[in-house]
Every structure is written in structure tokens, then in C-alpha cells.
């Protein structure tokens, strides 16, 4: 993912660094950020009995269990006062269950709170009143995460786009940061897609295949968005996902971005014959997986337009943020941690 991580002091100044798709470190020493991450490796992959699929929803067919440490360490150069660090942490989703198995807070940490933003993103908020020169404060939480693999339903012919979208779902039908559904090029390109499809599942699949056929994968450290991916005919997982999401939304099919360590992919929403809604994942960049997801990397967050306290505009991704009242002798060295633990 290429969403900016931001440093902000009490004067309101801020610096940011891009975190690209499939890699989460890039020139971090320039602004004293280090993001620790590793590629996800399945610790345990056990076959599960397929869930009952009579309603048309996804099937959970296997699981991976791993432990991930999330948090921050702050090394003071001089006196640091009034620090507040916030960061996204893992939380439960239908295909993911998490539990805290270890906590490591230094003496500097006064308070740790968790809050859930709109859309279900969970943040950890760490308050640190003071760090002395040469001291290091840390707040680290280790999660055990069980992630299920997903297979598409056997019968997709009865799945339909929702006739009436609940208010909570409407944010998945319009513009989001870098998902420009009002862009004339995107609207023109999507106009005739899926017009010959025999059902809505095949309509979404037509969009999926069109994006994969017309946007060549090319890694970039710069976030371009859906419109630029269409114009350039190339992009990485973020651009391809954004374009797919935008085109689905223009067909009145809710869609959103899913964020995992170093990568993102989309989900789309259809209803079964009973009117029950289901989210279906797909892998736009890389191996062809439509309506299924064998990737067992843990989910960080779902969505692509978040109202974050302290931010005026909607955010594409809930990023790490450190604020401080005063830094004497220089800003501290900050290391944001998101890494898989060996077991």
C-alpha cells in the first residue's frame, strides 16, 4: 500500500512517506520512520469442512494461524512531552478472528485505548506524557490471528446487485480518495461492460477480466489512483483494485478495498435469493482468483474512505500518526512495528 504515514508536531506541521503496494519501506531514514514488516507465511494451514453454502455466500475452506506484533517504539534525542501515537490494529472479520496474546508497554506509557472508526477499522491510541533524553518508550501488542481461505459459492446465478442499498453501504457506491467514479474516462470505459452478461455475477466478472486485460501490472512507489491507471494502462495492486472498485460502483454494485500487509485487493457485494447480502473477494493483481481468496495474510482494514479524528478530509487508509506537544533537542526516532512473530 502507498498510503502516507504522517508525523505531526504541536505546530501542525506534517511530513509523510509513501508506503507502496507489496512493500512497506521506502527511504524511511529521511524522516526517521522505520516500518517493520515481513511477507506473510502460513504457520498452520488446516483444511476445514466447507461451510453450508445454500444461501449463496462464500465458503471457508482452510485456515492459517499466525502471530503478529503491532505497535511503536520512540527513542528520544532530547526531552519529549505530550506524545500521542495512533495506529491501526487487527480486528475480527467474518474470515478472521484475532486475540491479544501479549502486551509490552514501557514505564513511559500512561494510557492505552482502543477505538473503532466508521467502517470497522480498529485503532490503538497510546498516550506518553514524557520521554527523557536517550530513553526509549515502547507500546507493543502481539495478536494471534486465525485467517480463513475463501472459495466462491457453487451456484452464483441467483446472486444480484442490491435493489435498495442500506445507508451504511452507500459509501461503497460513490467517490473515494483515488477511486474517481465521476471521472469521464472511467464512466465511458465501464458503460458497456457486462451488458451481455446473463447475471450480475458474470457482470462483475466482466469488469474483473477487463481490468486485468487492459491494465498491465507495474509496481510504483507513487499512488496514482483509478483514473491514472486507466489513462496509463498500467498500475500495481492499488491502481488495479481502485479501477475495479470504481467500475463496480458505476454499475450500482457496492465494492471496497481490502488491506493486508504489503498488498490490497477488492471485494464486491451481491445479494442472494433471500435478500441476504454477501461480500466476495477477488485478486485483481496477480493470480486469477475471482470470488475466492486463498491469500491468508491478515486483514488490517476494509474500506477506502475513512473519517479519522484530526483529519479534515476522508482518508483512503487509516495510517499511523504521532503527535507531540514539544520536542527539545530534536524530534525522536520513531519505529512503527507490524511484523510476524516466529513461533
CA–CA dist 307, 150 (Å, integer): 29
Predicted local distance difference test score (pLDDT) of residue 4: 38
What burial class does residue 310 get, using C-beta atoms within 10 Å of its C-beta: 0-12 exposed, 13-18 middle, 19+ buried? exposed
CA–CA dist 92, 7 (Å, integer): 28
Predicted local distance difference test score (pLDDT) of residue 29: 29
- For the record, the C-alpha cell of 4 comes out as 502516507
CA–CA dist 126, 138 (Å, integer): 9
Predicted local distance difference test score (pLDDT) of residue 165: 87
Question: What's the mean per-residue pLDDT of the chain?
Answer: 87
CA–CA dist 224, 248 (Å, integer): 19
The count of other CB atoms within 10 Å of the CB of residue 93 is: 17
- Interval 25-42 mean pLDDT: 32
Contact 90, 298 (CB under 8 A): yes
Predicted local distance difference test score (pLDDT) of residue 167: 86
Q: How many helices (H) and strands (E) does the chain have?
A: 4, 20
Q: Where in the chain is the domain with CATH 3.10.620.30?
A: 153-302
Predicted local distance difference test score (pLDDT) of residue 220: 87
Predicted local distance difference test score (pLDDT) of residue 159: 97
pLDDT digits (tens, 9 = 90+) for 109-132: 999 999 999 889 999 999 999 999
Predicted local distance difference test score (pLDDT) of residue 45: 45
Predicted local distance difference test score (pLDDT) of residue 49: 42
pLDDT digits (tens, 9 = 90+) for 133-168: 999 999 999 999 999 999 999 999 999 999 888 888
Query: CATH topology for 153-302?
Result: C8orf32 fold (3.10.620)
Distances in whole angstroms, Cα of residue 184 to Cα of each of 191, 230, 245: 10, 11, 15
> Phi and psi (nearest 5°) for 325?
-80, -40
Amino acid at each position: 500500500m502507498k498510503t502516507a504515514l504522517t508525523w505531526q508536531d504541536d505546530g501542525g506541521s506534517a511530513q509523510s512517506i509513501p508506503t507502496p503496494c507489496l512493500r512497506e519501506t521506502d527511504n524511511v531514514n529521511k524522516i526517521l520512520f522505520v516500518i517493520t514488516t515481513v511477507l506473510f507465511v502460513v504457520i498452520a494451514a488446516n483444511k476445514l469442512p466447507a461451510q453450508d453454502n445454500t444461501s449463496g455466500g462464500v465458503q471457508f475452506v482452510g485456515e492459517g494461524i499466525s502471530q503478529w506484533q503491532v505497535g511503536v517504539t520512540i527513542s528520544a534525542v532530547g526531552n519529549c512531552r505530550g506524545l500521542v501515537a495512533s495506529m491501526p490494529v487487527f480486528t475480527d472479520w467474518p474470515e478472521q478472528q484475532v486475540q491479544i496474546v501479549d502486551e509490552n508497554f514501557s514505564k513511559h506509557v500512561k494510557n492505552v485505548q482502543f477505538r473503532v472508526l466508521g467502517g470497522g477499522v480498529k485503532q490503538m491510541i497510546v498516550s506518553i506524557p514524557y520521554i527523557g533524553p536517550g530513553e526509549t518508550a515502547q507500546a507493543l501488542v502481539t495478536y494471534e490471528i486465525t485467517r480463513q481461505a475463501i472459495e466462491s459459492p457453487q451456484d452464483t446465478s441467483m446472486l444480484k446487485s442490491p435493489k435498495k442499498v442500506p445507508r451504511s453501504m452507500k459509501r461503497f457506491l460513490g467517490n473515494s480518495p483515488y477511486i474517481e467514479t465521476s471521472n469521464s474516462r472511467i464512466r465511458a470505459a465501464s458503460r458497456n461492460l457486462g451488458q451481455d452478461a446473463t447475471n450480475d455475477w458474470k457482470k462483475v466478472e466482466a469488469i474483473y477480466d477487463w481490468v486485468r486485460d487492459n491494465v498491465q501490472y507495474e509496481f510504483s512507489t507513487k499512488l496514482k489512483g483509478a483514473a491514472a491507471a486507466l489513462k496509463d494502462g498500467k498500475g500495481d495492486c492499488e491502481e488495479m483494485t481502485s479501477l475495479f472498485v470504481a467500475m463496480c460502483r458505476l454499475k450500482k454494485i457496492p465494492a471496497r478495498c481490502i488491506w493486508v500487509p504489503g498488498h490490497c485487493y477488492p471485494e464486491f457485494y451481491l445479494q442472494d435469493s433471500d435478500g441476504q447480502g454477501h461480500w466476495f473477494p477477488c485478486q485483481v493483481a496477480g493470480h486469477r482468483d475471482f470470488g475466492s481468496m486463498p491469500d491468508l495474510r491478515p486483514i488490517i482494514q476494509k474500506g477506502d474512505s475513512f473519517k479519522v479524528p484530526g483529519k479534515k478530509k476522508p482518508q483512503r487508509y487509516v495510517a499511523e500518526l504521532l503527535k507531540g506537544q514539544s520536542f527539545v533537542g530534536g524530534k525522536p526516532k520513531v519505529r512503527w512495528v507490524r511484523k510476524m512473530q516466529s513461533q
